[in-house]
């Protein structure tokens, strides 16, 4: 009955349109009142939830991504990607995906990826004869890579939701191969579509021009080297890499590329602070919500429920995947991670599934949710950028959902895709 009151309150508040953060906080308050928990205990859990050094990575990565997103890096990455794949039939769709791979490794945000790459690629693809809804579908599905490829904000949130027991560095490195696998799968499908629908070829870029494009893009791509190189060599932690990346992004944007006006910086800082504030409020409220769930022994009950369904971990993983896919269509990614990680992690631990592996499973599931109606934020951004109706974009997305589900199954049932690189790098268990 305790859990029913807590979850019912959350469901009702979300149904009436209350912002997710406040719905979570009020639900925790009602749950605490129901089980006669002192409100002081709830406040302590809330402050403890945001009083963590590792959380500093979130505002720094968000700011670095915002600076690079608005500083001309998207256009340079598109030109860089064109050098490698633009000459293939259907090359612009491949350029879109490869550019998303690079940009995701800088921004860590699917929404920023879709907005930045989409604003460059969708008009260009339309000009070359690609349907706009198809261009929007390629952009949206390609941006899911940003959820996986470091620096992913959501990996930091997952580590926090796991109680700090999962290394952020391990999650960052673990996301590299799944992200590349996702991009490669989408590229294979785009090539098949290009031959079937006779999409145009591009022209090869002359060597001198290609070298110039490479040098121009190299400054932005160095952000990736700084983040991953610093972590792997042990020069700095994942959290410290965020601040270094932020300083580098500022230097490159304002002093190398110089496409961004100094007068626009205060507005960018204001938008970043608003975003960070929303995230931190959500994290604080989610910490109190998670504590109430623990006091109600909800994680233990959920574990018993899943293990009661079957003793086969592959069957249980499929059940968890289906649940995450459904919930991902109804809520945004961060609150789901914060609410469900403490609930599902005991289940997967009981099955002997590595928490880093489960983190990747959760990221892919919820990444698909970002491009699925009715609440897919990335889907709405793609629709707005392409000036196409949601229904048209969703119709064009249908084959891409199949490709993403295929990748999800590979990542779910082949743990080595997620765990091989972190083990090789020696960052597991940090």
Q: Where are the domains of the chain?
A: 2-425
Q: Are 150 and 363 in contact (CB under 8 A)?
A: no
CB atoms within 10 A of CB 251: 12
Q: Is 430 helix (H, G, I), strand (E, B) or coil?
A: coil
CB-based contacts of 355-358 (< 8 A; 24+ apart in sequence): 355/162, 355/165, 355/166, 356/166, 356/167, 356/170, 356/171, 356/174, 356/418, 356/419, 356/422, 356/428, 357/174, 357/415, 357/418, 357/419
For residues 390 and 374, what is the distance between their CA atoms, to the nearest angstrom? 10
Which is it for the CA torsion 289, 294, 298, 303, positive or negative?
positive
Residue 220 gets the label, from left (phi > 0), alpha (psi -120 to 50) or beta, of: alpha
Tokens of 406: 């295929």
- The three-state DSSP-derived secondary structure of 143-212 is CCHHHHCCCCHHHHHHHHHCCCCCCHHHHHHHCHHHHHHHHHHHHHHHHHHHHHHCCCCCCCCCHHHHHH
Please give the chain's pLDDT, 430 residues, in tens.
777 788 888 888 888 888 888 888 898 888 888 888 888 888 888 888 788 777 788 888 888 877 877 777 778 888 888 888 888 888 899 999 999 998 888 777 888 888 888 888 899 898 888 999 999 999 999 999 989 988 888 888 999 888 878 888 899 999 999 999 999 999 999 999 999 988 888 788 888 888 998 888 888 888 888 877 777 777 887 778 888 888 888 888 888 888 778 888 888 888 888 888 888 888 888 888 888 888 887 777 777 888 788 778 899 999 999 999 988 887 888 888 988 898 899 889 888 999 999 999 999 999 999 998 877 888 888 998 898 888 899 999 999 999 999 999 999 999 999 999 998 887 765 4
> Would you report the helix, strand and coil content of the chain in percent, each value rounded to 5?
80, 0, 20
Element (H, E) at 247: helix 238-251
269-289: pLDDT as tens digits: 888 888 888 888 888 888 888
Which residue has 């609150």 as its token pair? 335
282-315: pLDDT as tens digits: 888 888 888 888 888 777 777 788 878 877 889 9
Backbone angles phi, psi at 282, to 5 degrees: -60, -45
Tokens of 93: 């769709």
Element (H, E) at 353: none
For residues 161 and 379, what is the distance between their CA atoms, to the nearest angstrom? 26
Burial class (CB in 10 A: 0-12, 13-18, 19+), 127: exposed
Mark out the alpha helices in 252-389 (DSSP H runs). Answer: 265-295, 298-309, 313-328, 333-350, 355-370, 377-386
């Amino acid at each position: 009955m305790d859990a029913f009151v807590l979850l019912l309150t959350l469901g009702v508040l979300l149904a009436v349109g209350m912002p997710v953060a406040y719905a979570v906080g009020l639900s925790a308050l009602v749950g605490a009142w129901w089980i006669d928990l002192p409100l002081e205990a709830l406040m302590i859990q809330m402050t403890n939830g945001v009083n963590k050094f590792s959380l500093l990575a979130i505002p720094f990565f968000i700011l670095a991504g915002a600076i690079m997103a608005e500083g001309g890096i998207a256009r340079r990455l598109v030109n860089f990607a064109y050098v490698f794949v633009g000459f293939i039939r259907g090359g612009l769709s491949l350029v879109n995906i490869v550019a998303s791979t690079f940009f995701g490794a800088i921004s860590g945000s699917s929404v920023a990826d879709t907005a930045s790459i989409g604003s460059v690629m969708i008009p260009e693809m339309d000009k070359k004869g690609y349907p706009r809804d198809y261009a929007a579908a390629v952009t949206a599905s390609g941006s899911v890579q940003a959820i996986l490829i470091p620096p992913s904000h959501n990996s930091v949130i997952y580590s926090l939701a796991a109680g700090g027991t999962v290394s952020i560095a391990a999650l960052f490195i673990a996301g590299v191969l799944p992200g590349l696998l996702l991009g490669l799968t989408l590229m294979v499908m785009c090539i098949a579509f290009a031959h079937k629908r006779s999409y145009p070829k591009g022209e090869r870029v002359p060597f001198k021009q290609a070298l110039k494009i490479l040098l121009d893009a190299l400054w932005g791509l160095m952000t990736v080297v700084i983040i991953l190189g610093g972590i792997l060599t042990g020069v700095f932690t994942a959290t410290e890499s965020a601040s270094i990346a932020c300083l580098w992004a500022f230097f490159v944007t304002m002093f190398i590329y110089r496409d961004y006006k100094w007068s626009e910086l205060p507005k960018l800082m204001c938008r970043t602070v608003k975003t960070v504030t929303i995230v931190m409020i959500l994290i604080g409220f989610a910490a109190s919500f998670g504590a109430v769930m623990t006091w109600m022994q909800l994680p233990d009950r959920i574990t018993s429920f899943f293990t009661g369904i079957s003793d086969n971990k592959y069957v249980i993983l499929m059940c968890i995947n289906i649940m995450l896919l459904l919930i991902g269509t109804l809520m945004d990614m961060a609150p789901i991670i914060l609410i469900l990680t403490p609930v599902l992690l005991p289940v997967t631990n009981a099955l002997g599934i590595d928490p880093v592996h489960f983190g990747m499973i959760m990221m892919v599931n919820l990444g698909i949710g970002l491009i699925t109606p009715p609440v897919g934020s990335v889907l709405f951004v793609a629709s707005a950028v392409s000036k196409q109706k949601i229904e048209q974009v969703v119709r064009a997305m249908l084959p891409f959902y199949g490709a993403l589900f295929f990748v999800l199954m590979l990542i779910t049932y082949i743990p080595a895709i997620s765990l091989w690189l972190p083990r090789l790098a020696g960052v597991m268990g940090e």
